[in-house]
Amino acid sequence: MNRLLRNTDPLLFIAIIFIILIGFLSLYSASHEPNGKMQKNFAWQQAVWMGTFLCLAVIVFWFGYERLLDYGYLIFAVNILFLLLVLSIGSTRLGAKRWFSFGVFSLQPSELCKIGFILALVKYISTNSGSIHRFKVVLTALIMCILPMLLIIKQPDLGTAIIFLPILFSVLFASGARISHLIYIILTGILSFPVLWHFLRDYQRQRLLVFLNPNADPLGAGYTIIQSKIAVGSGGIFGKGWMSGTQNQLNFLPERHTDFIFSVIGEEWGFLGAILLLWLFLLLINRLLKIAEMTNDQRGRLLVVGVAALLWFQVFTNIAMVIGIMPVVGLPLPLISYGGSSLLTTMLLITMAISVQFRRKIF
């Protein structure tokens, strides 16, 4: 334990601990009903998952990121198999097949696929680092990215699917891929959007249209974003106080314990509380990038870059959709939102990054 503390960044641990603490407080508040009772204590359930997954994270830490990368292709292949299976035998909720249900516990394969994709991508790029300037290598990496995206969109889960793209581009950029190749892929994606529009579900199209004008359907697709903006705006500078938010406590805000947990934070802790949380996330991502910058192992550096990119994009997108500057795509806030699969994925990825730091004795 002393060696762990000596060889790891204390600021990284401080950021993680305080983010998790804010998450527990927000989930406890979101668990309350208007009558003061709790049908389900989300904070307690999250704490149980946290304790369980912490044991798994310790195992992953001592196993080491190097060996996990060695099995990157196999882990990714298993993830793809799970994505195929969930489409046929997965549980259906609100018209989506995204989960394997095991009694009271559910597993979302699309979340775990983030781990497999990062490991396989880093293994592939590091193996072909000598020819990373060739478009063929970049194209193969893109195909590796598109495969899980298509399967996840089929569930359907557009929010989780798009998160694979920033991971791909960040790792390619950090590996030294040609900027012109990356720009070509981005422009191709933009130009193909009119075609992709026809493959979206009706509710996904409606979300994009409502983003432009939430009042076009204030009691339907626009209801959640309207209530979310009211909650965040009503918090003011200092907030209404813990468990005192009206939008939260009076049950006006849907999905307040998952995708819209930041609305609870904005209403109850105000602008200052929201800024504090953003600063903690920035501190976490900054320390991860510091690990990537200082490690002398290419595979470890690309792995940490992929983890940092995932966290940055997920935090940015979640908060942006909550305050109405991006369409609602259904992405949880890492370490904050309720959900076992998301929590497990985030914990394991951060553990791998800490493993890079520990084994390379960076600090």
Q: Say whether pLDDT at 123 is over 70.
A: yes
Distance of CA 278 to the CA centre of its chain: 15
Burial of 172 (0-12, 13-18, 19+ CB in 10 A): buried
Q: pLDDT for 324-340, tens place per residue? A: 888 877 789 999 999 88
Q: pLDDT for 140-180, tens place per residue? A: 999 999 999 999 988 888 888 899 999 999 999 999 999 99
Lowest pLDDT segment from 26-30, 98-102, 284-288: 98-102
The token pair that represents 93 in the structure block: 């909720």
Mean pLDDT, rounded, for 73-79: 96
* Distance, first Cα to last Cα, the chain: 16
What pLDDT score does 289 carry?
94
Give the whole-angstrom CA distance, residue 204 versus residue 199.
10
The token pair that represents 351 in the structure block: 């553990």
The token pair that represents 232 in the structure block: 């965040």
Nearest residue to 274 via CA among 284, 261, 287? 261
125 contact partners, CB below 8 Å, separation of at least 6: 132, 137, 141, 171, 172, 175, 302
What pLDDT score does 49 carry?
87
Task: Show the DSSP H helices in the chain as ranges.
Answer: 2-6, 10-30, 42-63, 65-70, 72-89, 109-127, 135-153, 158-162, 164-175, 179-191, 193-197, 202-212, 223-234, 246-249, 261-294, 298-322, 340-360
What is the average pLDDT value for the chain, to the nearest integer? 86
Mean pLDDT, rounded, for 4-33: 85
Predicted confidence band of residue 217 (pLDDT cuts 50, 70, 90)? low
Lowest pLDDT segment from 45-59, 88-102, 249-263, 308-322: 88-102
Predicted confidence band of residue 105 (pLDDT cuts 50, 70, 90)? confident
Q: pLDDT for 247-257, tens place per residue? A: 877 777 777 88
Q: Say whether pLDDT at 110 is over 50.
A: yes
Give the whole-angstrom CA distance, residue 19 versus residue 336.
7
